[in-house]
Amino acid sequence: MTLVIADLCGTPQELIYSALNKIPSPRREEIFRLKGELERAQKVVGEALVRRFALEKFGVACPVILRGEKEKPYLKEVPDFCFNLSHSGEKVVLAVAELPVGVDVEKVVPREFSAVAARCFSIEEQKKIAASKAPLLEFYRVWTARESAVKRRGEGAAAMRGLRLADERVRSFSIEGERILPFAECAAPEYLLSVCTSEGESCALTVSFCLAEEVLRGLK
């Protein structure tokens, strides 16, 4: 499995719009209609990451990224290519695997989470958060784990409620600079990331970091 983590920091706005114009319609118009500049940039970089990987892996220069019935992305030209995207803050993550995969990254920011946990998490998970030395980090770990599982299955957000992680392998990490570390409760990471794979997926993990600007400048 491969994770590619792109950093948006310092990416020129004109480069984002130049790259956006290279994305086929109707996806281009869909992204353009987004209200926030950051969200627009996240989507453009995500598309660029997939296009770059498709070119390097399959020789497909301009793949068309489609969305399935439940918004799970796939490539029109290589429908069996298993990938998933996530973004938060200035990080955009592409996960690629041999079998269906889901990934979720979240910027760790202070928030009131008890209502969300009560609505979406199991009793056991809520107890673990309450007993944790760092409840906020544990909340984000559980959230990203569940979100990655939902995305691997191609299910909607409503599936977060009552979700049981029975047939998946979920791994959680903190992002610190240009490295990821196994989730540690007492750490103080800026971002947490979880990736969910099928039990048959290889445990080997390759991680690479890049600047979003580099990816966008190479977009065909």
Distance separating alpha carbons of residues 48 and 51, to the nearest angstrom: 5
> What's the token pair of residue 16?
């984002």
Alpha carbon dihedral 43, 44, 50, 52, in 10-degree steps, equals: -160
pLDDT in tens, 77-122: 998 899 999 999 999 999 999 889 999 999 999 999 999 999 889 8
Distance separating alpha carbons of residues 34 and 52, to the nearest angstrom: 23
What is the assigned CATH class of domain 101-201?
alpha beta
Domain ranges of the chain: 1-98+202-220, 101-201
pTM higher than 0.75 for the full model? yes
pLDDT in tens, 15-42: 999 999 998 888 899 999 998 999 999 9
Q: Do domains 1-98+202-220 and 101-201 have the same CATH topology?
A: yes
Give the per-residue pLDDT at 171: 93
Give the per-residue pLDDT at 156: 66
How many other CB atoms are found less than 10 A from the CB of residue 74?
Answer: 18
Mean pLDDT of all residues belonging to the chain? 89
Give the per-residue pLDDT at 139: 96
Kindly state the average pLDDT of the residues 165-180. Answer: 85
Assign 162 a pLDDT band (cuts: 50, 70, 90): low
**Per-residue pLDDT for 209 more than 90?**
yes
1-98+202-220 belongs to CATH 3.90.470.20: yes
Distance separating alpha carbons of residues 85 and 147, to the nearest angstrom: 12
Distance separating alpha carbons of residues 125 and 100, to the nearest angstrom: 25
Assign 74 a pLDDT band (cuts: 50, 70, 90): confident
How many other CB atoms are found less than 10 A from the CB of residue 148?
Answer: 28
95 touches 103 (CB < 8 A): yes
